Amino acid sequence: MHRFAYRNGVLHAEDASLEAIASEVGTPFYCYSEATLREHLRAFEEAFAGLDVLIAYSVKANPNLAVIRVLASEGAGADVVSGGELRRALAAGVPAQKIVFSGVGKTREEMALALEEGIYQFNIESGPELDTLNEIAGSRGARAPIAVRINPDIAAGGHEKISTGRAADKFGVAWTRARELYVRAARMAGVEIKGVDIHIGSQISDLAPFRAAFEKVADVVKDLRTDGISIERIDIGGGLGISYGEGRDAPLTDDYAALIREIIAPLGVKIVVEPGRAIVGEAGVLVTRVLYDKENEWRRFLVLDAGMNDLIRPALYGSFHAFAPVRGPIDGASPVVVDIVGPVCESSDVFAKERALPVMRAGDLGVFMTAGAYGAALASQYNSRPLIPEVMVRGGRWAIIRKRPTFEQTIAAEPLPDWL
């Protein structure tokens, strides 16, 4: 569920008119509903009630400081995959003891920073990474809390490029070799084994891959305990899918939690869960303005001022986003079939093909729904287009939480060499 709805024919975010916001902020811009963020996090908390759980929000889904601050105020931790995300989480008010550091390529500097801050856990993805962390922690007289990320060789995810649990993927340690890595880690002075980690992909719309992965990780935990290695935590990752309005249902949070209660909870461990998209996806929209209604002999195009640099998911993954006018269509008006495209100089700058929509003309506002996850996070300044603003709404109030940079601010970061 989300808090975007029409009132008197105009789409609102909670009690704020998107039309009114656009008149002040300009387009395109992202808009987030604070109430939706809180409600989605609370849904996870309620689903896991009675279990010892750390909900570590996956910062990569949407790293805006205000978004993280809202979730931190509800008690969420953070799953980070870079030193920059770690600093963001801390700056937003997430306690270091609720931060999990994932990612296959942690640098020595990032490891040192995380150790100094005293984070909850490092998720180790390879033997060389384990050796490096052991060395860095040992040189500081510290012991780094670790879990090894198990790769269960299970295909899952809404697209090939967001499946992370197959044997050929770069992530994690093969589940058949994890035991030997744990035995080696147990002999190291600079690390302290705390748990096991698993994460098999993103936008997973079926619980079956989760079940298969959780059963494998449960077997690994039992084997490790047989070896005398204590396992007190299991990080089950994230990846729970959501509906983008494409006619496909997503698993319910309650059903996902029931699966974890069945397979993971009996192991008597603390559970770390890392939702990202499932919390922020429906909480955000991308508001854009029509530049042109263009026709040729074969197609009709709705050309927007938002481009693939602002929302790259359709170009990158072939992803679906529902699109609607901000000012509701006239009752009984016949739809037209259009390709929804942006202004970027690439043939891939297409949001949707042959989409039936109400007639929209130059100057009309439109909105891409379910754009809160991996929208602004993946944006770029391609074609020298500035990063677009982000806005957060609380009730009838709203605030800009990322400003649109001026051209002068953008080029100030590009000093010319003295020989030019």
Which residues belong to the active site? 345
Closest CA to 135 of 155, 115, 160, 105: 115
Handedness of CA 280, 120, 209, 106 (dihedral sign): positive
Q: Spell out the SS3 assignment of 265-309.
A: HHHCCEEEECCCHHHHCCCEEEEEEEEEEEECCCCEEEEECCCCC
Asked if 416 contacts 35 with a C-beta cutoff of 8 angstroms, the reply is no
Q: How far apart are CA 73 and CA 65, in angstroms?
A: 12
Q: How far apart are CA 288 and CA 285, in angstroms?
A: 10
